[in-house]
Amino acid sequence: MATDIPKTEIWRPGSFTKNFSWGRPSAGLSELHYIIRLGFNGEMKDVPREEFRSRVRSAGRPDYIPINFFLFNKSVRGVDHLCADELVFQAINWEHSPRFDKLALFVFLLSLAGRWTGARREQRRPALWANAYVRERIAGRLNWETKAVSADDIERFVKTDSRYQAETTRKLATNLNYLFIGGRLKEMNTTRIERWWVDCLFLALDRIIEDRLLDRSPTSPNEYAGLLTEYGFLELTGRSTLEKKLAIKHLVTLYDACGGRNRFSDDATKERTLTLIPDVQFFVKNDPRPRGAIHSTNPRVLKSIPAACAMLAKYAGFDDLSPDDLEEFDLAEFVKRSTQAALDRLKQENIEPSMTAEELMKLMRGE
């Protein structure tokens, strides 16, 4: 069970009560997707906060909600920067999609925004009321049955909680409910692993590790799984299932092998590859597009990774998918092809069953 948020934590919504101009609900969080691409100039590099804001303002777009609630802030040699992490990776490399909407909603709920000059203490975790509503209300009491979620239900939750300290509740409740619609909260209530969920795990580790570094607290790989539990990763991403719990172990291994957030640096990835796989003969990135890493025990455990991480993914026990295969991935077809390939290998090696189907059924029935 995840550690509860301390009751002494104060919730202040700040600028979230202002209108972000998301557009029609059917547009999802496409506005955020566009602003991330614009602010980072399409590059997977940390960007000065003021440079990001200047690019966004020049396009006549609002910037406070993206930089204070969805992105991560930190100081680099005295200059405030916004970090290029999994959220930025997905926005830059893929067109807006429902997968992005759920990833963005998750990172809002995780509520780790970092620190910047002039920020108040509570702005480091700016949406704790939303985090608590999902963990305590949706996951804890409703078991992710989202039919009861509404602006009225959100308002009742914050209004009756002493942790919430603000003059208004209605505007916050309607804005959060609108975000739930755009972020496709109801689609997150699934027992199976989907690609957005896998992306969320990488994004959670990106943020948790960076947040701990703000307090000069480095994180070792053997802490990753425990920190995901501590920060309520499973509660924030739908119903907890055995399949998801088993997948965490594989994905944590992949995340570590790829070097954490250094996976976005070609130079760091090359150095890590040569360190972990010293007998590698060459390191060539023929196609710069992201590739896929898929685990042989469960093809739903599929993660998009930078092209330079392909060898590291294999080192972690994942199979490699080309950029085209990743884009056109079909689970049923993949399972069919893999099964047929396995059968062909058995046939080539003259391996045949030692009992009939009827004998096998009797064995299973205990006869």
**pLDDT tens digits, 157-184:** 999 999 998 888 999 999 999 999 999 9
Give the pLDDT band (50/70/90) at residue 366.
Answer: low
pTM: 0.89
Which two three-digit tokens encode residue 196? 């957005």
Is pLDDT of 3 > 50?
no
pLDDT in tens, 293-320: 999 999 999 999 999 999 999 999 999 9
Distances (CA, A) of 12 to 130, 211, 302, 352: 11, 19, 37, 67
pLDDT bin (cut points 50, 70, 90) of residue 256 is very high
pLDDT value, residue 365: 60
Note the pLDDT of residue 279: 81
d(CA 125, CA 110): 8
Q: What is the pLDDT of residue 168?
A: 85
Q: Is the pLDDT of residue 2 over 50?
A: no
| Mean predicted confidence (pLDDT) in 273-298 | 84
The string of pLDDT tens digits covering residues 71-125 is 999 999 999 999 999 999 999 999 999 999 999 999 999 999 999 999 999 999 9
Model confidence at 367, pLDDT cuts 50, 70, 90, reads low
Stretch 339-354: mean pLDDT, rounded? 59
With cut-offs at 50, 70 and 90, classify the pLDDT of residue 188. very high
Q: What is the pLDDT of residue 329?
A: 77
Mean of pLDDT over the chain:
89
Parallel, antiparallel, or unpaired: how do β-strands 79-82 and 291-295 relate?
unpaired
Minimum mean pLDDT range among 6-15, 72-81, 235-244, 355-364: 355-364
Cα–Cα distance for residue pair 248/156, rounded to 1 Å: 34
Which is it for the CA torsion 164, 169, 172, 177, positive or negative?
Answer: positive
- Residue tagged 């209004």 (tokens): 159
Please report, rounded to a whole number, the percentage of residues in the chain having pLDDT higher than 70. 86
The 10 Å CB-count burial string (b at 16+, else e) for 233-260 is bbbbbbbbeeebeebbebbbbbbbbbbb
Q: Out of 20-34, 181-195, 310-324, pick the least confident.
A: 20-34
Banded pLDDT at 5 (limits 50, 70, 90) = very low
What are the CA-CA distances from residue 177 to residues 126, 133, 164 (Å)? 17, 11, 17
Q: Can you give the pLDDT at residue 12? A: 86
The side-by-side arrangement of strands in the sheet containing 73-76 is 47-48, 79-82, 73-76
**49, 200 contact by CB (below 8 A):** no
pLDDT at position 9, please?
80
What residues contact 303, with CB distance under 8 A and at least 6 apart?
Answer: 195, 198, 199, 202, 251, 254, 292, 293, 294, 313, 318
For residue 328, the model assigns a pLDDT of 87
pLDDT > 90 in the chain, percent: 77
Over the stretch 324-343, which tens digit does the pLDDT of each residue have? 999 987 665 565 555 545 44
Contact between 116 and 49 under an 8 Å Cβ cutoff? The reply is yes
pLDDT for 19 equals: 65
Predicted confidence (pLDDT) per residue in 192-213, tens digit:
999 999 999 999 999 999 999 9
How far is Cα 312 from Cα 331, in angstroms, rounded to an integer?
Answer: 23
Residue with tokens 């699934």: 190
Nearest residue to 294 (alpha-carbon basis) of 273, 269, 314: 314
Find the range with the poorest average confidence among 124-128, 172-176, 224-228, 342-346. 342-346
Separation CA 22–CA 29 (nearest Å)? 7
